[in-house]
Amino acid sequence: MASLRACPTTTTTTPLLPRSFFTYRAPAQLNNARHNPWLKSAVDWKRRRRSLVCSCTTANGEVGGTVVEEEGEGEGQDGYLARGFGWGVRRMVVVGEEMRMVANVQAEAFHEPVPLFNDFFLDFFRAEVLSALMYRLRNSAPDRYACLVAESVDWSNSLIAPELVGVVDVTVQGDGDVLRHLKGTKEYLYVSGIAVLIKYRRRKVATVLLEACDVVSRRWGFKHLALRAYEEDSAARKLYAKAGYAVVASDPHWVTWFGKKRRVLMIKTFHSPSSTCRSSS
C-alpha cells in the first residue's frame, strides 16, 4: 500500500490536544459552524448520517461493481462519493470520535511491531498520526486536502451504525519530481496513507477508496493523480494498476544502502478531462 509518510505535508511536531477538545457536544462547535462553511458541512453530514442509519433505505448497485457520485460539488444524495461491494466512501467528519477512528486505522496499518513494549509504541504512533491529521486539517483549505473514509453499508440492518474500515488522504501538490512526468501541469492530486483494517482486506475496500479519489480529482479540477508504492509490494501495485495507475519512475538503488525500501511512482491520467481540469494554460 502507499506509504503513510510519503506525503510531505505530514508532520508530527504539533502537540496532541486533550481528549475533551474533540467533544462533538460542545456548543462552541455549533456556533462556529455558522461562520465556518467547512465545519458546517461536517455538522450537517453528522446529522444526515444519523438519520440515514435510522431509516430503511435500499441501496442500488452495491454488489458487483462501484457506483460513483458525479452530481454537484458535494457528496451524492446518500452522502457517499463512491459506493460498491457493501462499502461507501465519504469525506471524514471533523469531530473527535471519527478523527480518532481514522488515526487508529492508519496506525494499525502502518505500525511495525517491536519485540518489547509493542502496545506502548503503538499508542505513541497512534497519537502521532492523530496529531499529523489535525495539522493537515488546520493548515489546508477544504479543496486542497481531504481525508476520505470507507465504512460498511449494511442496509439489511439500518439500526446498526456503519463501521469505519478504511482511510485514504488526498492532497493537492506540485512536487517537481512528479511534475517532470506531467508536461504542461502545475499541480496534481496526491494519494497517500491508504489503509484498511486487517480483517477487511481483500474485500474491495481499497478499490472503492480509489474510486472516491477519482471523484475528488474531477470535482477539484485535476487531470492527474499520483501515488507511491513499495517496489516489492506486488499486491498493492496490482491493485493500483487495475485502478488505472502506471509506473513512471522508481527510487534509485542507493536508497537501499540506508535500509530503506525502494518505491515506485505511479500516475493516473484522465484522458478525457472536463473543461474544469487545471493545467499550466
What are the catalytic residues? 240
Residue 117: C-alpha distances to residues 16, 86, 100, 106, 121 (Å): 21, 37, 22, 19, 6
**In DSSP terms, which residues pair with 190 in a beta bridge?**
171, 226
Helix (H, G, I), strand (E, B) or coil at 198: helix
Cβ contacts of 202 within 8 Å, gap of 6 or more: none
Q: Return the closest-CA partner of residue 143 out of 80, 210, 218, 207.
A: 218
- Give ∠ CA 220-8-247 in degrees, rounded to 5: 70
Element (H, E) at 67: strand 66-68
Decide the pairing of beta strands 246-250 and 224-230: unpaired
Kindly state the cell numbers that stand for 117.
Answer: 513494549
CA distance 60 to 134: 35
Neighbour order of strands in the sheet with 188-196: 66-68, 82-84, 87-91, 145-152, 164-173, 188-196, 224-230, 263-269, 246-250
Environment class of 238 (CB within 10 Å of its CB; exposed 0-12, middle 13-18, buried 19+): exposed
